[in-house]
Amino acid sequence: MLDWKSFFLAYLRSRSRVFTYIFSLGFLVLLFQFLFASLGTYFLYFFLLSSFVTFLFLAWDIFAEAQVYRQEVLYTERDPKSPLECALVEKLEERESELYQKKSEAQSKLTDLLDYYTLWVHQIKTPIAASRLLVAEVSDREVKQQLEQEIFKIDSYTNLVLQYLRLESFHDDLVFEKVQVEDPVKEVVRKYALFFIQKGLALNLHDLDKIIVTDKKWLLVVIEQILSNSLKYTKEGGLEIYMEGQELCIKDTGIGIKNSDVLRVFERGFSGYNGRLTQQSSGLGLYLSKKISEELGHQIRIESEVGKGTTVRIKFSNRNLMIE
């Protein structure tokens, strides 16, 4: 965007000596007109003619500089003329080249690091799958359920890391479509059914017959992280999931969140009082939910009261998209 105010201020500073010369010359002409009154008419004509020529010169100079400024701002095209400009442009281009090289090196290191962790996450899936097969052979029902629960947690944390890594290429596989809210909710609930059974928690699903426009795969990640958090901090009572207007509400009867933590729960790495108390928080789940929701064009907020529970609200925007 062209900032003409900044341009004119910079122009006046760059031409300060020229303006000083012009004003000095005008002052001298007026002084000579005063000292030599008999020749005043000639000095007046000279002053007016000089002023007119000066005006034309300044108009042409401003227009030429404005074109150079426009080319630089809009197209990054530089055409240095003075020795100082040439020296500055040369240093600027050297600096830009250094920054580009450093940025490329940093991006290359980041890509290598992401590739390494992505490979690690995929490789660790193999021993997790093998552990499930081994647990299936355990005869003691109680021990078997506990092992299945711990393996599920390991798998969930692994998926959390994978989704976090995929944020770097979030838009590469983004697909918006019409989604029945009930479908992703029930899919996540089925995945966590074991925890509801083991904890003896009630589940109330209602008013979910609403169609929204979103990316189903990423919405599943958001709902899963919120549901996982609710189950983690709810020991009795249960969960209620429903639509209220354009908002998907996930309400629990858990321990609640302190007021001082509510505004920070979406920060990366923030575990809060509850996380430190139970040693079960990575500080990534809600951050990931917030980040994905923003990328999808949704809004997410939390209402909570200590000792009574928490309600997470995901507000879906009305998208005017042509989807067949």
Residue 276 has pLDDT above 60, yes or no: no
Residue 1 has pLDDT above 60, yes or no: no
206-233 confidence digits (pLDDT tens)? 999 999 999 999 999 999 999 998 998 8
Residue 280 has pLDDT above 60, yes or no: no
Q: CA 158 to CA 150: how far, in whole Å? A: 12
HEC sequence for the chain: CCCHHHHHHHHHHHCHHHHHHHHHHHHHHHHHHHHCHHHHHHHHHHHHHHHHHHHHHHHHHHHHHHHHHHHHHHHCCCCCCCHHHHHHHHHHHHHHHHHHHHHHHHHHHHHHHHHHHHHHHHHHHHHHHHHHHHHCCCCCHHHHHHHHHHHHHHHHHHHHHHHHHHHHHHHHHCCCEEEECHHHHHHHHHHCHHHHHHHCCEEEEECCCCEEEECHHHHHHHHHHHHHHHHHCCCCCEEEEEEECCEEEEEECCCCCCHHHHCCCCCCCCCHHHHHHHCCCCCCHHHHHHHHHHHHCCEEEEEEECCCEEEEEEECCCCCCCCC
Q: How many CA atoms lie within 13 A of 208 on its CB side?
A: 16
Going by pLDDT thresholds of 50, 70 and 90, the confidence category of residue 322 is very low
pLDDT higher for 25 or 249? Answer: 249
104-156 confidence digits (pLDDT tens)? 888 888 778 778 877 887 788 888 888 888 888 888 888 888 888 888 888 88
CA dihedral in degrees (114, 115, 121, 125; nearest 10)?
160
Share of residues in the chain with pLDDT > 70 (%): 80
pLDDT higher for 249 or 104? Answer: 249
Residue 274 has pLDDT above 60, yes or no: no
Residue 191 has pLDDT above 60, yes or no: yes
Residue 215 pLDDT: 92
**Closest listed residue to residue 205, CA positions, set 184, 233, 222, 177:** 184
Residue 84 pLDDT: 59
> In this predicted structure, which of 37-51, 162-176, 216-230, 299-313 has the lowest mean pLDDT?
37-51
- Residue-averaged pLDDT of the chain: 81
Residue 323 has pLDDT above 50, yes or no: no
Residue 220 pLDDT: 93
pLDDT higher for 16 or 286? Answer: 286
Going by pLDDT thresholds of 50, 70 and 90, the confidence category of residue 324 is very low
Residue 202 has pLDDT above 70, yes or no: yes
158-189 confidence digits (pLDDT tens)? 888 888 877 777 777 788 899 999 999 999 99
